[in-house]
Structure 1
Amino acid sequence: MLIFLTFLNSLILIILSLLHIYWAFGGLWGKDLAVPTNRSGQKLFMPSVLSTLIVAVGLLIFALCNLSIQFSAVLPLNPLFLKYGILVIGLIFLLRAIGDFNYVGLMKKYKTSDFARQDRLFYTPLCLTLFAAHLLIFIGF
């Protein structure tokens, strides 16, 4: 099961990383639904190319950490550091799932925007799944 979870996490994280790279270089598919909006439909922030690439690199590093559980040559890290790194990655996704108590996550107040609907149907469940998978890897590692 550990092998399956690490590969599944890696695949999801690589896909998300590639999506962020696509957006950073001008891609439009899904971009309108990736940033929360206020009640009037205005985006709360406009991600810069640099910040989008930073997120992409972070997601790729998370994927490499997952692969390193199975293949130590991917990132030759101390196993203890890797184990707790996996836990930290999971906690990051848990925090994202909980949200900001206004526009993002399980605790959001504003639930009627297109982003909020996507967040409820896809983004938050994905973050909870990634948290659970990372927690299981942490426990089984």
Structure 2
Amino acid sequence: MNAIIFIALALLHVYWAFGGIWGKDVVVPTGASGQKLFFPSVLSTLIVAIGLLIFALVNLSIKYLLVLPLNPLFLQYGILVTGLIFLIRAIGDFNYVGLLKKHKTSDFARQDRLFYTPLCLTLFITHLLIFIGF
């Protein structure tokens, strides 16, 4: 299931990188004035897409649905690192993103509270379970 989520998110990032606009207005944190805090470049958006595809490959490889020529220990710790990345994202930056954000009234903050942070926590938990052998 993780791999499907990562592939879907990667495709969404590719869509945005090539000019897609669906959902794009609520995926970047905004300041108190409603202005976006940063504007992702095409390159950075594609790099995120590639990272998400790598996460998908690691997830597929750990269950041997896809065989990569990598040491299984590397894959196991890759699962743990992937999970920790999403735990850090779920905790957030203490200002605009995650569970501990201070700014909670923007459209992004609502989406973050309802969708992004719960998804990140779910990905952390599922990766932790995979790591410990469930």
Task: Give the distance between the partners of 2:131 and 2:62, measured in 1 at CA.
Answer: 10
Q: Identify the residue that residue 4 of structure 2 maps to in structure 1.
A: 11
Q: Is the 8 A contact 1:68 1:76 kept in 2?
A: no
Task: Give the distance between the partners of 2:9 and 2:65, measured in 1 at CA.
Answer: 23
List gaps (5 residues or longer) in structure 2. Answer: none
Which residue identity does 1:35 align to in structure 2?
V
How many pairs does the alignment contain? 134
What are the within-5 Å matches in structure 2 for residues 2-41 of structure 1?
A: 8-41=1-34
Cα offsets for 1:11-49 (capped at 9, x unmatched) = 000000000000000000000001000000000000000
Q: Identify the residue that residue 55 of structure 1 maps to in structure 2.
A: 48
- Kindly state the Cα deviation for residue 79 of structure 1 after the two structures are TM-superposed: 0.5
Cα offsets for 1:34-77 (capped at 9, x unmatched) = 10000000000000000000000000000000000122754221
* Matched position secondary structure for 2:69: coil
Cα offsets for 1:69-107 (capped at 9, x unmatched) = 122754221000110110000000000000000000000
Task: Give the distance between the partners of 1:22 and 1:130, measured in 2 at CA.
Answer: 22
What are the within-5 Å matches in structure 2 for residues 81-92 of structure 1?
A: 81-92=74-85
Between 1 and 2, higher relative CO (CA 8 Å, sep ≥ 6) is seen in: 1
Q: Identify the residue that residue 117 of structure 1 maps to in structure 2.
A: 110
Q: Is the 8 A contact 2:77 2:131 kept in 1?
A: yes
List gaps (5 residues or longer) in structure 1. Answer: 1-7
TM-score of the two chains, using structure 2 as the length reference: 0.97
Determine which of 115, 119, 125 is the counterpart of 1:126. 119
Runs of at least 4 residues of structure 1 off by over 6 A? none
Q: Is the 8 A contact 1:36 1:103 kept in 2?
A: yes
Q: Is the 8 A contact 1:64 1:74 kept in 2?
A: no
Which residue identity does 2:95 align to in structure 1?
N
Q: Identify the residue that residue 72 of structure 2 maps to in structure 1.
A: 79
